[in-house]
Amino acid sequence: MKAPLTRLRPRAVARLAATALLALAGSACAQDYSQRQLQDIFSRHLAAESLRPELTTAGNVRFRSQGRTFVIHVDERDPLYFRLTMAFVADDKSPSARQRFLEGCNAATADVKVIKCFLDEEGDPTFAAEMFLVVPADFTLTLDRLLRAMDSAYRRYTRRLGELR
């Protein structure tokens, strides 16, 4: 037998109230991070991994791994957004090279999870990994996998460029 409608309403109201309280509690617990705090979080971990971090003039954290330069973008306005990029300058800026770069980026982006490859405003290839974190220090849990994925995307990119020559 179904419960009377009057008995369901208080339960529904109670569930709604509990959900609202949880949402408010979650936002009340959110911490603000300064640019310096974020830089320290990222730099400490990279230094512990012997990756020798350095700060850029824009306030980002740059490091080298396996002969490539990576940048962790620091944004204190959105501290739970994590962005890792690897970019390089292409020697050939011709329209045919641009087409090859785009096809290489398409191959890399289509085949590798999480990594995006695109051409920047100057036509240079950029590889990026982006994600939302629960707390900024959570990047330590996935950094190694992101670097491997970035390497895999780069290999697919260069393989596709080789096929197009």
> pLDDT in tens for each of the 165 residues of the chain?
555 545 556 655 555 555 544 444 444 345 799 999 999 999 999 999 999 999 999 999 999 999 999 999 999 999 999 999 999 999 999 999 999 999 999 999 998 999 999 999 999 999 999 999 999 999 999 999 999 999 999 999 999 999 998
Distance CA(74)–CA(38), nearest Å, equals 7
Judge if 76 and 136 occupy the same domain.
yes
Domain co-membership, 138 together with 122:
yes
Residues 69 and 103 both lie in one domain: yes
Q: Domain with 155 in it: what CATH number?
A: 3.30.1460.10
pLDDT at 31: 79
Q: What is the pLDDT of residue 57?
A: 97
Taking phi over 0 as left and psi of -120 to 50 as alpha, with beta for the rest, 44 belongs to alpha
The pairing of strands 61-65 and 68-73 is: antiparallel
Q: Are residues 16 and 75 in the same domain?
A: no
The pLDDT value given to residue 2: 55
Residues 148, 70 within the same domain:
yes
- What domain range is 15 assigned to? 1-30
Are both 24 and 44 inside the same structural domain?
Answer: no
Backbone dihedral region for residue 10 (phi beyond 0: left; psi -120 to 50: alpha; all else: beta): alpha
Predicted local distance difference test score (pLDDT) of residue 165: 84
One domain, residues 130 and 150: yes
Q: How much is the pLDDT for 22? A: 47
Do 48 and 106 fall into the same domain? yes
Residues 145, 106, single domain; the answer is: yes
| Burial tier of 150 (Cβ tally within 10 Å: 0-12, 13-18, 19+) | buried
128 and 142 together in one domain: yes
Q: Does one domain contain both 71 and 125?
A: yes
Q: How many distinct structural domains can be found in the chain?
A: 2
Domain match, 64 and 5 both: no
Measure the CA–CA gap between 124 and 112, rounded to whole angstroms.
Answer: 20
In sequence order, what are the beta bridge partners of 50? Answer: none
State the pLDDT at residue 92.
94
